[in-house]
Structures are given as C-alpha cells and as structure tokens.
Structure 1
C-alpha cells in the first residue's frame, strides 16, 4: 500500500518526526513553508509542476491556515501551516468533496449534519478501511502557541484526482487519529465501524476546498 511520508519538528525541536511548528511557532500561516526539511529536500517540486492551494477556515469562517499541494517526483507533496487551533495532535486528511460549509448535511446521509460534513468522507474511504485511504495523511501537531506545520508526500493521489468533478478538501479534525490500529487485546472483534471509517478523529475544526 502506498503510504504518505512526513517530516517535521516537535515544539522542543529535539526530534524529526511526523509534525512541526517549532522555530516559526509565532509566525502567521504561509503557503511557502512546510513543517520540515527532509521531505522537501527529497521530493522538491519539479520544474513547471502544478500547484494547488486550500485556505483553511474554522466553522465561524475565520482563516486558520493554508495548505499547498504540489506535484513532485515522489507523488504529491502537501505543505500546511496553521494558527489559532487547539494544541495537540489532530487528524489530517484529504476529503472527497471540495465544499466546506458549517453545519451542513453529509452527502452520504443528509440526515446527519455538522460542521464541514459537506466535504464528505476521506478520499478512498469506500475502497479500504481507515489507515489505507488514499486521503489519509500523518497527524498534524499544534503547539501550545496554537501553531503547527507539516510536510508530507503521498503517491496515493495526483493533482488531477484532487480536482475532479466534485473537487476535494483539506481537513483538520478535533482529535488525534488512531488510523484504526486497535490491538486485538483491546478489541478482540476488531475496531468498530466508526473507528474503521474515521480513526476516531472526532469533529471537523478546519476545512479548505482545494483550488487551482
């Protein structure tokens, strides 16, 4: 299975791991800077490569960050910077519909309403359990200052797929994502349907339609 690769820096700058938001913790979001250097160095944008942008807003409509998606040699590079979000780890995904509306119905079940449900589920959610969705990305870490950054490269999606007829969206969730990796000693019958679909990442706190 193709998996995204991520590098960035924890708030103490002691480790190069999944997330970032250290030296530039007090800076405003910028589409030009990712969360780390290793992924960017190993998969630098190709000459003339396409680029897409998603401006992230909270349910009240306030802008809280920006994500840039760029074609690179290894696939699609996702760079995101956020500010003003709750500290901690957050689920971070690419969703199947490019529509970010607060208190909106789910395309799959109009009886369900909630913030940014208009963006549908993860890209590839109907093809595999969570952890193997094409839209699954590494966790985004937000520092105590409310800022975070992440750079990830995935070969599971192309820019063309992100700009299909119904578009796509970049999503930040309220809680961390367990990717449905639940050991059998905790759940002998395996993870339940909610966990398999969402990784228990909780509500949707920031969303941005992917645009050219």
Structure 2
C-alpha cells in the first residue's frame, strides 16, 4: 500500500511538472483567433478590412471594403461626391493618407514586383483594379477580386485605398497614368 501511494505521488508530481507554463505560447501553426475574443476563428470565416475614403478637404468620399473568405479577397468600392467619369482606383502599399496629395500612401500594392496594369502582359500589381465609373450623381460602385493575399493589407505598415482623378490606361508602369490622387482611406480591420 505504501509503495502504491509513493508511486501515485511521484506520478502526480511528474505530471504537474510537465504542465503548461503560466503564459502559454501558441505554436506557429495554431489556428487563427478572433481579435475581440481570442476564440478560434471558424474555418472559412470571413475577414474584413475597411478604408473610409476622404478627399483632400476632408470630405467623405465613400468606402473600400476588402473581404476574404476561403483564400479569396473581394474588394467592394462605394463612392460618393466625386466628379463624373472614369477613375483609376488602386490599393496602395502604405497605410497613410496625408492630404493634400496623399503621396504618403506610397505606390501601388505590389508584393510580387510585377509591372502595372490589367492589360500589361508583364502585370499586374496586386492592387490593380478596373476603372471605376462615377455617374452624374457623383456615385459609383465596383466589385473586384484582388490578386494579393488579404494579410498583406494589414501588415506592419498597413495599406491604403486611393481614387485617382483620371482613368487608368491599364498598361503604363508604374501607375497607369491615372492622374492626381483625389481620395484616400487607410484599411483597418473591421
């Protein structure tokens, strides 16, 4: 009986010593968690990032919403108060939108180092999109599947969405000759 009690006590202490530390660290291959609760994210759960667009004067100009589900990233653009016509629109590589020129947003989001343009045989940037058509009422919408991975939108320096004054020619590297940046918004998890 004493031998059994000693063996049981030794086993109990050995198991306790093998327990997890006070601040457990997740392995690198641990499943993603939801930001608000730390609960595991459901397989195939949608992730979203939203850029609230503003003009250089600080006026509301719409939203760009990126939604990633099962490895596909869709971008939905809704604009208001812009000049009618065709506008180049792109994801830019830095999450800053300092007016008036929004140059702080950097170049187009291009993690692969490709050339610019949906019609460029050596393109396209991950942030390249078709032109946005804005109606006489100043409103426009566009949906497009992005080529880049969603995670790149929210990396350490973030990313921004930019609306340009003119149409993108879909070929000229690096910017599509789409003119001044007239609206900008920084992507934030949402």
Give the stretch that moved more between structures: 52-61 or 128-137. 128-137
How far does residue 138 in structure 1 lie from its aligned partner after superposition?
1.2
Q: Determine the structure 1 residue equivalent to 2:55.
A: 58
How far does residue 153 in structure 1 lie from its aligned partner after superposition?
1.1
Distance in 2 between residues matched to 1:126 and 1:68, nearest whole Å: 22
How far does residue 196 in structure 1 lie from its aligned partner after superposition?
1.4
- TM-score normalised per structure 2: 0.70
Distance in 1 between residues matched to 2:94 and 2:132, nearest whole Å: 21
Aligned 1:71-86 pairs, distance under 5 A: 71-73=68-70, 75-86=72-83
Q: Are 1:209 and 2:190 counterparts?
A: no
Contact 1:125 / 1:197 at 8 angstroms: preserved in 2? no
Q: Are 1:99 and 2:91 counterparts?
A: no
Output the aligned Cα RMSD.
1.6
How far does residue 80 in structure 1 lie from its aligned partner after superposition?
1.1
- Residue ranges of structure 1 left out of the alignment (5+ in a row): 1-45, 104-114, 181-194
Q: Determine the structure 2 residue equivalent to 1:133.
A: 125
Aligned 1:195-206 pairs, distance under 5 A: 195-206=172-183
Aligned length: 141
Contact 2:83 / 2:134 at 8 angstroms: preserved in 1? yes
Q: Are 1:158 and 2:158 counterparts?
A: no
Is the partner of 1:210 in helix, strand or coil?
strand
How far does residue 126 in structure 1 lie from its aligned partner after superposition?
7.5
Is the partner of 1:102 in helix, strand or coil?
coil
Q: Determine the structure 1 residue equivalent to 2:31.
A: none
Is the partner of 1:160 in helix, strand or coil?
helix
- Residue ranges of structure 2 left out of the alignment (5+ in a row): 1-42, 118-123
Q: Determine the structure 2 residue equivalent to 1:27.
A: none
Distance in 1 between residues matched to 2:71 and 2:46, nearest whole Å: 12
How far does residue 70 in structure 1 lie from its aligned partner after superposition?
0.3
Q: Deviations over 1:38-86 (max 9, x none)?
A: xxxxxxxx85211110000000111110111101346101011111000
Is the partner of 1:196 in helix, strand or coil?
coil
